Structure 1
Amino acid sequence: MDVKDSNGTLLNEGDSVTVIKDLKVKGSSSVIKRGTVVKNIRLTGDAKEIEGKVEKTVMVLKTEFLKKQ
């Protein structure tokens, strides 16, 4: 299963990615700002999602809003 970012670049465990669009957090009033760096990502069972720590919270992010560093 190939996991790719918004530009089609292959993502691997431990990569760092940048958020390319302000994202609202479900169930919260907070927003992940564009340009936020998510380091040391983990791949999930879904090719369109990754897990990463954002502000000390582990979140699942859609790869269509991410760019590999």
Structure 2
Amino acid sequence: MSDQDDEYVYDEATGEWRPASEVAAEQAAANAVRDAAGNELADGDSVTLIKDLKVKGAGQTLKQGTVIKSIRLTGNPEEIDCKYEGIKGLVLRTEFVRKR
């Protein structure tokens, strides 16, 4: 597909007409969920905790280095939903995890 076939949209930030595919790619990158190291996270990824976390209501602490498998992204780019032994509905902040 060439640029001649692409739709153009007006970018108010730059004041220019730009290809719609280019603008969409930039928006997707801006909305990406990233871990503490800046790596992009996706559904099903495994992550490792980078610090000890006390789990409210569960009465236990998840230790640094704990591996959490099969994460799910939420509507919030700063949080991920996951399961861990004996803890239902665990939501972790992305600032405390690193992608494996």
Please, what TM-score do these two structures have when normalized by structure 1? 0.92
Bigger relative contact order, structure 1 or 2 (CA pairs below 8 A, ≥6 apart): 1
Q: Does 1:65 align with 2:96?
A: yes
CA RMSD, Structure 1 to Structure 2 (Å): 1.1
Q: Give the one of 6, 17, 20 matched to 2:47.
A: 17
Structure 1 gaps of 5+ residues are: none
User: Post-superposition, which runs of at least 4 consecutive aligned residues in structure 1 deviate over 2 A?
Assistant: none
| Cα displacement (A) at 1:27 | 2.5
Please, what TM-score do these two structures have when normalized by structure 2? 0.65
Rg: which structure is higher?
2
| Cα displacement (A) at 1:53 | 1.0
Q: How does 1:38-49 map to 2 (within 5 A)?
A: 38-49=68-79
Q: Does 1:55 align with 2:85?
A: yes
Quick one: distance in 1 between partners of 2:67 and 2:58? 20
User: How many residues in Structure 1 have an aligned counterpart in Structure 2?
Assistant: 69
**Which whole-Å deviations, capped at 9, do the CAs of 1:24-59 have from their partners, x for residues lacking one?**
111342101111101110000100000111114230
Partner secondary structure for residue 53 of structure 1? strand
Q: Which has the higher helix share?
A: 2
